[in-house]
C-alpha cells in the first residue's frame, strides 16, 4: 500500500503538538503508584465487559480485584474465564 508521505506528514504534525493523547486506560502514574497493582487489576479494565458476558458474576469480578485476597485466589477467578474471552 502506497501512503505517498502520509506517515511522514502525520509524524511531522504530531511533532508540533504540545500534547499527544495516547488514550491510555491506566490511572496517572502518581495515583497508580499508590495502588497495589497486579495482573488482575491491569487486565480487568480492558476485559470487564467480556468477563461479565462470559459468565463472571459482578461479585466474582469484585473479588478478583480485592487486594485482601491472595493473588493466587484472584487469578484463579480470572483464569476460569480466560478461555471464553479470547
Examine residue 30 and state whether it is found in any structural domain, yes or no: yes
Q: Is residue 5 part of a domain?
A: no
The pLDDT of residue 28 is 81
Is 6 domain-assigned?
Answer: no
Q: How many domains does the chain have?
A: 1
Residue 11 lies in a domain: no
Residue 39 lies in a domain: yes
Q: Which residues contact 64 (CB under 8 A, 6 or more apart)?
A: 40, 44, 56, 74, 77, 78
Residue 32, domain member (yes or no): yes
Query: Is position 16 within any domain?
Result: no
- Tell me the whole-structure pTM to 2 decimals: 0.61
Structural domain span for residue 48: 25-84
What does each of the 86 residues of the chain score in pLDDT, given as a tens digit? 677 789 999 999 988 988 867 766 667 888 878 887 788 888 787 899 999 999 999 999 999 999 999 999 999 999 999 999 98
In three-state secondary structure terms, 59 is helix
Amino acid at each position: 500500500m502506497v501512503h505517498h508521505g502520509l506517515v511522514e506528514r502525520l509524524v511531522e504534525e504530531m511533532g508540533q503538538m504540545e500534547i499527544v493523547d495516547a488514550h491510555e486506560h491506566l490511572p496517572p502514574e502518581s495515583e497508580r503508584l499508590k495502588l497495589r497493582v497486579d495482573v488482575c487489576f491491569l487486565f480487568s479494565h480492558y476485559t470487564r465487559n467480556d468477563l461479565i458476558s462470559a459468565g463472571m458474576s459482578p461479585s466474582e469480578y469484585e473479588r478478583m480485584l480485592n487486594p485482601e485476597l491472595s493473588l493466587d485466589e484472584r487469578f484463579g477467578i480470572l483464569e476460569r474465564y480466560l478461555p471464553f474471552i479470547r
